[in-house]
Amino acid sequence: MDEERVSAELVAVITAVQNDVPLVLTTADGRLLPSGPLEPGGGSMQAGMRSWVTRQTGYELGYVEQLYTFTDRSRGPGSVLAISYLGLTTVSAVTPGWRSWLEYFPWEDQRVGDGVIGEVLAPALERWATTTADDKLAQRRRLRAAVTFGLEDHPWLPELALQRYELLYEAGLVPEADGGAGAPGLPMQRDHRRILATGISRLRAKIQYRPVVFEMLPESFTLGRLQTTVEAVAGQPLHKQNFRRLVEQQELVEETGEVDTSTGGRPAKLVRFRRAVLDEREAVGTKLPIARPR
């Protein structure tokens, strides 16, 4: 029997924040994430990923983390082993290819309320829950929807972005689920929307205990910009005083001695991440006070 032909490719979830909007770099008019064949050679896979991204996109990545590996059998004979990575970068201007990740997951922005969930998704998930004659299964479906989407007094957990997408997929509410419909948001090809959701979940979980967000900021910034950047990633508002108190207690930043006058109001002090934090790329106990609405 012939052996199945297997090839490997890299898939990159490259994220940035610009003007308080969380961005992801895409190709194919927003239908795909940057991807390409895995090139053999020396060095680590992560180093190869950084080099490949720079060559393909022109962007230098800061923090990089492997997400997961999956097999794609949808592209003809053989299998494609897709190795996905999350990479953070900065952008000075939004150029073609950058899209708001909220175009794909509009329900993930809780900064403006949860209208799309209450008006569209919750009723659709309730209809799905009752498509079974098994009362216990229907009850489990309702509970899963409530926990995942923060319904019925359950807290909204920003890091459950992947679980929310997977639930909508299982319920047949997204086009990727054999042409399903009901949930808003742009579809993607080759399971790339699931990979993007994985990257969002990983990043949202990471910023709660490790200050990787500095990879998405310029060298100097205001505390206000730091907060709005974290809010854009988390998709939730932060309590201003609590946030600044945490930043001060953890000694994450230091003043540069300069101010930002671009806002037109009172000049804001510019700060930068402390060199020790930049060198270590890690700080224990830097959990951010992400507000839990409702």
- Superfamily of chain region 6-101: Nucleoside Triphosphate Pyrophosphohydrolase (3.90.79.10)
- Which alpha helices (H) appear in 112-157, and where do they start and end? 115-116, 122-129, 135-149
| Topology of the domain comprising 207-280 | Arc Repressor Mutant, subunit A (1.10.10)
Neighbours of 39 (CB within 10 A): 11
pLDDT in tens, 192-231: 999 999 999 999 999 988 888 989 999 999 999 999 999 9
pLDDT in tens, 169-188: 999 999 999 877 889 999 99
Neighbours of 74 (CB within 10 A): 10
The share of the chain scoring above pLDDT 90, in percent, equals: 59
| Residue 2 reports pLDDT greater than 60 | no
Domain range list for the chain: 6-101, 112-183, 207-280
In degrees and rounded to multiples of 5, residue 36 shows phi and psi of -170, 165
Lowest mean pLDDT among 16-25, 43-52, 139-148, 211-220: 43-52
